[in-house]
Amino acid sequence: MTPRSSIGKTPFRMTYRTEALVPVEVGLESYRTEVYNMETNSFGLRENMDLLEDKREAAQQRNMKYLLQAAHHYNSNIKKRSFRIEDLVLRELAASIPAKQGKLQPNWEGPYKVIDIVYPGTYKLETLTGEAIKNTWYASCLRKFYQ
């Protein structure tokens, strides 16, 4: 019964082409039950069916606008990180060893050296002694190490 912010209509209206009648309105006198007329109601339903495609298109446009706003809000808080080969980085401890997490544990471990860019935002690392790290790592789990 509550209109969704993304489409501006209730799911009931988008499915059944009309607004729902609340059970309380059936038992009690309300404006909608007092002025109910079978002929005008059927005419109104046919008119709603004629306009349904326009309403669905408008709802779809509102939904796309809502999704763009949500994506913009999400992306505004993301800090882009990129590294070059030979950069020294710290690795997030929670991503590498989840069992080693704790309140007094450090949040980052390293430093490690970037040896390969697998895909933009995805890197292969090695320790400073030259041992390659098995997995690839996302830039969101890495932080630049400053000496």
pLDDT 10s digits, 56-99: 888 889 889 989 999 999 888 877 788 999 999 999 887 777 67
Confidence of residue 17 (pLDDT cuts 50, 70, 90): low
**Beta-carbon contacts of residue 1 (< 8 Å; ≥ 6 apart):** 10, 12, 20, 22
Which residues fall within 8 angstroms of residue 116, CB to CB, at 6 or more apart? 85, 123, 124
Task: Count the Cβ atoms, other than its own, within 10 Å of residue 144.
Answer: 13
Q: What mean pLDDT, rounded, does the chain reach?
A: 80
Bridge-partner residues for 87, per DSSP?
Answer: none
56 contacts 14 by C-beta, under 8 angstroms: yes
Q: Is the pLDDT of residue 2 over 70?
A: no
**pLDDT interval class at 112 (50, 70, 90):** very high
Element at 39 (helix H, strand E):
helix 38-76
Looking at residues 35-51, what average pLDDT do you find? Answer: 70
Residue 90 forms beta bridges with which residues? Answer: 143
What is the tally of helices (H) and strands (E) in the chain? 5, 5
Question: Beta strands 88-92 and 108-119: pairing type?
Answer: antiparallel
Task: Give backbone dihedrals phi and psi of 38, rounded to 5 degrees, phi first.
Answer: -60, -45
> Which pLDDT score is estimated for 22?
67
Overall fold of domain 88-144: SH3 type barrels. (2.30.30)
Which pLDDT band holds residue 145 (cuts at 50, 70, 90)? very high
Out of 7-16, 25-34, 76-85, 124-133, least confident range: 25-34
Confidence check: pLDDT of 131 > 80: yes
Task: Map out the domains of the chain as residue ranges.
Answer: 11-76, 88-144
